[in-house]
Structure 1
Amino acid sequence: MIIRVFLLCVLFIVMNALGHPWLEQIGRLEVLSKQCELHHKRMDPTGEDLDHILVDHKHKFLYCYVPKVVCTNWKRLLMVLTGRSNTTNVVSIPASLAHNESSHQRLSDIPTSQLPPILSTYTLFVMVRHPFERLLSAYRNKLEDNQASAKYFQSIFGRHIIKHYRNNATQKDLETGDNVTFKEFVRYLITEGVDSASANEHWRSVYSLCRPCDLDYTFIGKYDTFTEDTQAVLDLISAPKLTFPHTRSGKTGDRLRTYFRQLDLDDIKSLYLLYEMDFKLFGYTAENILGYDFG
């Protein structure tokens, strides 16, 4: 304990000299470390556990992508860093190409015997977001949106949710699955879980996707400060000068209360428990919605 406190003091002095956002990392990493010690037994992740971590050998960089946390732009950026795209205009890379399986190497593709030196020497990075805000963003984009890109989710998940979680659903309701309510979506998650084998990555927890208690993350970025955090990470890995695309704000955070008014307190509490580790590990609370926290 004394050694740990000493190291944190040294880290504080160094990061204080560097300024924000490095100074923020002390608190973020300390919260992560303490909560992992309290709530998790560390294990060595293998195989599919590492499927969301993308690899850039050139800059010795590992990025765990989390859907609905500027991951499309980060995937675009990674294509440039790894040389899979030679464009200087990052945002010009089509989203479909950025998400294509062939556009990135995943840590799960690397033989287990080769993982230890990579995990011990590469910079490991994740960008996180308030769990409820991320969840609402996924709902609005995949189940409420009228754009063509949402039709797949509506035809698969929307129809399933309406069939099983809407009282007296009609055949017309089931035709497109494009009018799922937020309350129906939440009931689906509460009943079927967010980290089950059939759960979609857009609403799986960061705890499940990125294994933050089993891997030693170098830097935790947050959606609210993604511009500063992204630049800090790019500087850390000595990346070439690149402009990270500015994300158009959907003002999801401002809409949280409006959507959560559709839920009763028991539903909100059950939903919190599904993402409890994400709340605890990354220092989030439900206070901005309820006026108080469950923790």
Structure 2
Amino acid sequence: MLHSFPANAGTEKYLPEKSIITLETEQTQRKKLAKEVCTLSQKNPNLDSVIKDRTLLDHIIVDEEHRLLYCYVPKVACTNWKRLLMVLMGKANTTNPLAIVADDSHRLNVFRRLDNYTGEEIRYRLDHFMKFMFIRHPFERLVSAFRNKFGQNSSSSDYFRSRYGRQIIKQYRANASEESLLRGHDVTFREFVQYIIDPRTVARANFNEHWRPMVDLCLPCTIQYNVIGKYESLMDDAWLVLEKANLNQKVSFPRSDRPSSTNSLVEEYTKHLTREELLHLYHIYEMDFRLFDYHSPGFD
């Protein structure tokens, strides 16, 4: 079904700061590096094995009409991408992405995902649809997730404090108060990191999507993405996605999700970690650092 939109629905037209030639050159460099790192790491699960375990594809949203595959990474502007896709796919009663309640964009039944297709259908879409994902400095993403899920007062924070906070405090805090054990409301970043780097957590692959490595969410060593966008150049890279999909005359990416000041907070949060803890944390996200060309001083 075709939908009609006012030009650049919901947002003013955005013009990229860089030329399209520069943006395309950056994409070529990013994809080249990703391929090199994947080859050297020998972590290239073939598509056959991925299709056999289709749950690995559960973060890839399918837009049939516009022939798009979007792998969403929590804490990397995924709310606004989902809002925009809802507008494009006619799943909202508005043409303004920012008018869509954030929680509505995360409901499980809103989008069809690639893991819901047959093996043959998956292959066809991977071959013929435009594939894109967005990435962010791994430690920035982790701090953002911690602040959002453990530091705010919301129903989502209540869930994370109950589901993870109480367990983390019980395992990693000596002489925890009864209130902390009951509510899980005052987890520190260091305790959160101790939970993530704990061999028991790693062995169970017990990572919530908000802190699961980006390479595990989107499988860039198996799936050849047409655009690998960066949070640091969000607006330009989002423009490029829409330009490649011939959608820039229909919609613009919402400007509200500009890169935040999380970068300046990373040092503030990580300064309480020991060097050993920081090194273990780096190793958890090492493929994200290497494959997407991010740097952590002293560890790469």
Using structure 1 for the length normalisation, give the TM-score. 0.89
Amino acid at match of 1:20: T
- Alignment equivalent of 2:98, drawn from 72, 91, 94: 91
Match of 1:72 in 2: 79
Name the % identity: 42
Q: In 2, distance between residues paired with 1:72 and 1:262? A: 30
1:218-258 deviation digits (Å, cap 9, x = unpaired): 11000000101001101111124213222165411111111
Contact 2:234–2:258 (Cα < 8 Å) also in 1: no
Match of 2:45 in 1: 42
Q: How does 1:122-271 map to 2 (within 5 A)?
A: 122-191=129-198, 192-193=200-201, 196-239=204-247, 240-245=249-254, 246-247=256-257, 250-271=260-281
Q: How does 1:12-31 map to 2 (within 5 A)?
A: 18-31=20-33
- CA separation of 1:176/1:242 partners in 2, compared to 1, >3 Å: closer, same or farther? same
Q: For structure 2, which runs of at least 5 residues remain unmatched after alignment? A: 1-17
Deviation of the 1:148 alpha carbon: 3.9
Instruction: Identify the range of structure 1 (163-172 vs 245-254) with the bigger mean alpha-carbon deviation.
Output: 245-254
Contact 1:138–1:202 (Cα < 8 Å) also in 2: yes
SS at match of 1:160: helix
Contact 1:195–1:208 (Cα < 8 Å) also in 2: no
Amino acid at match of 1:179: D
1:49-79 deviation digits (Å, cap 9, x = unpaired): 1000000111111000000001011111111
Amino acid at match of 2:290: K
Deviation of the 1:175 alpha carbon: 2.0
SS at match of 2:133: strand
1:8-43 deviation digits (Å, cap 9, x = unpaired): xxxxxxxx9832322211111111010000112331
Instruction: Identify the range of structure 1 (91-100 vs 244-253) with the bigger mean alpha-carbon deviation.
Output: 244-253
Contact 1:194–1:204 (Cα < 8 Å) also in 2: no
Q: In 1, distance between residues paired with 2:260 and 2:38? A: 32
Amino acid at match of 2:45: R
Contact 2:234–2:259 (Cα < 8 Å) also in 1: no
Match of 2:66 in 1: 59
Deviation of the 1:261 alpha carbon: 0.6
Deviation of the 1:195 alpha carbon: 8.3
**RMSD over aligned Cα atoms:** 1.7
Amino acid at match of 2:275: L
Q: In 1, distance between residues paired with 2:274 and 2:169? A: 19
Q: In 1, distance between residues paired with 2:162 and 2:38? A: 38
- CA separation of 1:99/1:92 partners in 2, compared to 1, >3 Å: closer, same or farther? same
- CA separation of 1:96/1:55 partners in 2, compared to 1, >3 Å: closer, same or farther? same
Q: In 2, distance between residues paired with 1:17 and 1:200? A: 37
Q: In 1, distance between residues paired with 2:60 and 2:71? A: 4
Contact 1:194–1:203 (Cα < 8 Å) also in 2: no
- CA separation of 1:59/1:37 partners in 2, compared to 1, >3 Å: closer, same or farther? same
Pairs aligned (count)? 275
Q: In 1, distance between residues paired with 2:197 and 2:205? A: 15
Match of 1:272 in 2: 282
SS at match of 2:273: coil
Contact 1:194–1:205 (Cα < 8 Å) also in 2: no
Contact 2:232–2:259 (Cα < 8 Å) also in 1: no
Q: In 1, distance between residues paired with 2:57 and 2:119? A: 11
Q: For structure 1, which runs of at least 5 residues remain unmatched after alignment? A: 1-15
Deviation of the 1:167 alpha carbon: 1.0
- Alignment equivalent of 2:125, drawn from 118, 125, 129: 118
